[in-house]
Each structure stands twice: as C-alpha cells, then as structure tokens.
Amino acid sequence: MPYMRKRRSGHILNVTSMGGIITMPGIAFYHGSKFALEGISESLGEEARSFGIRVTAVEPGSFRIDRAGRSMVRAERSIAERNGNQPGDPKKAATAMLKLIASDNSPAHLLLGSDAISLVRGKLGALKTEFDTWEQVSSSTDFE
C-alpha cells in the first residue's frame, strides 16, 4: 500500500470465492473466512479510492485446480467426485483478471464462472424476497 499510495495508483485483487456470497453445508469456516475477505475488500476499496488505488474481490466458482482433489477430504466423504469436471478454466480466469486490471472502470466484485453467476443470482433473489417479506417487521424497529 505505501508504494501504491506514493504512486497514487494500483489495483489490489483479493481472490475470495463465490463462497463469500453463497453458502453450502459442511464448510462454515471456509464461508466465514471468505465472507470476511469480502468485507475487508469492500471497505479497503472505499478507503483506498482517494489514493487512486482500486480493490476488487474476485469470486471464482468451481475451477479445475487441485483444491478439490487429493488435498480435500471431509468426514466420510470426499468432494473429489467433481474434481476434473469443474466448469471453470483457470487460464481463462487469469485472462479475465488481466482484463480487469487493464480496465479503467473495474468493479468492486468480479464473479468468475457460470456456476458462480447462477448461484449468486439465486442468492440475491432469495435475499430480496426475504427482505421484502420481512420489511414491515424490519422497519417497525425505528423510533416514531
């Protein structure tokens, strides 16, 4: 940061996961750490903007890397069944991140992969429905 502040430019990419927006059972600690990095990235982006520094949380879906292979075994079952069949291509993800860095109008969040887009859109729709359903209860807590 000190060097970027001095140059008044830079771009920080925090690679999180779609798991920082959506959740799946059995990996609560993983999601907790990714949700935290999402918040840190958003807040840091707000803080660093005045110094000409951009921050983007990159949120990949499932990519064909070894993360879900031999190194990932959980209680009595392995998630390796999908290993090698994930939809995401790591080389295309790298190209997308380079395109992001070169952009003059980079987003605070960048989903990578069609599965990430689909699952996050579903989560956003469910949140909207939940907020709309409970809006009266939520707003009833204000002072009158």
Catalytic annotation, residues: 30
What is the secondary structure of 104-134 as a DSSP string? SS--SEEEESHHHHHHHHHHHHHHHHHHHHT
Greatest extent of the chain over all pairs of C-alpha atoms, in Å: 58
Measured in degrees and rounded to the nearest 5, phi and psi for residue 143 equal -65, 145
DSSP-assigned beta bridge partners for residue 59: 111
Radius of gyration of the chain measured on its C-alpha atoms: 18
